[in-house]
Chain A
Amino acid sequence: MRSPVLYLSVVRLGLSAALMYRANFLFTAGLMVVVGVSVQLFLWSAVYGWGQQQSFAGVPFAQMALYIACATLALGITRGGRVERMVAEEIRTGELVRYLLKPMAHAPYTFAMALAERAVTFPVVLLLALGAMWVALPWLPAHLALERLLWAAPFLFLGMLLNFLMGLGISYVAFWMDEVWTLHVVKDISLWFLSGQLVPLALLPGGLRELSEWLPFQYIAYVPAGILSGLIPEERLGLFALRALLWVLVLGVGVAGIWRLGMRRFGGYGG
Chain B
Amino acid sequence: MWFGVRLWAIFLAQALSREMEYRLHLWLSFLIDVVWYAVQVGLFEVIYLHTPVIAGWSRDEMAVFLGTLFVVDALNMALFSTNFWRIPQYVLTGELDFFLLKPVSPFFLVFLRYPNVASFLNLAVALTVLGYGIGRVAPPPLWAAVAYPIFLLNGLLCMLSFQALIGAVAIRILAAEGIQQTFHIMYQFGMKPESIYTPLLRRVLLYIFPMALVASVPAQVLLGKASLELVIAGLLIPPALLGVSRWTFLRALRSYTGASA
Contacts and interface: CB of A to CB of B under 8 A. Distances in A.
B1 interface: no
B43 A47 contact: no
Interface in B163-202: 177-178, 181-182, 185-186, 188-189, 191-192, 195-198, 201
B47 interface: yes
Nearest to B43: A198
Interface string B211-239: 00000000000000000000000000000
Interface in A105-137: none
B36 interface: yes
B32 interface: yes
B192 A42 contact: yes
Interface residues of B, number: 35
Interface residues of A, number: 32
Contacts of B195: 46
A186 B196 contact: no
A46 B196 contact: yes
B240 interface: no
Given A24-B178, A35-B189, A177-B24, A57 B50 contact: yes
Contact of A199 (B22, B47, B178, B188): B47
Given A45-B196, A56-B51, A198-B43, A36 B188 contact: yes
Interface of A: 23-24, 27-28, 31-32, 35-36, 39, 42-43, 45-47, 53, 56-57, 177, 179, 182-183, 185-186, 189-190, 192-193, 198-199, 203-205
Interface of B: 22, 24-25, 28-29, 31-32, 35-36, 38-39, 42-43, 46-47, 49-51, 54-55, 177-178, 181-182, 185-186, 188-189, 191-192, 195-198, 201
22 contacts: A35-B185, A35-B188, A35-B189, A39-B188, A39-B189, A42-B197, A45-B196, A46-B196, A53-B51, A179-B28, A182-B28, A182-B31, A186-B28, A186-B32, A190-B39, A193-B38, A193-B42, A193-B43, A198-B39, A203-B47, A203-B50, A204-B46
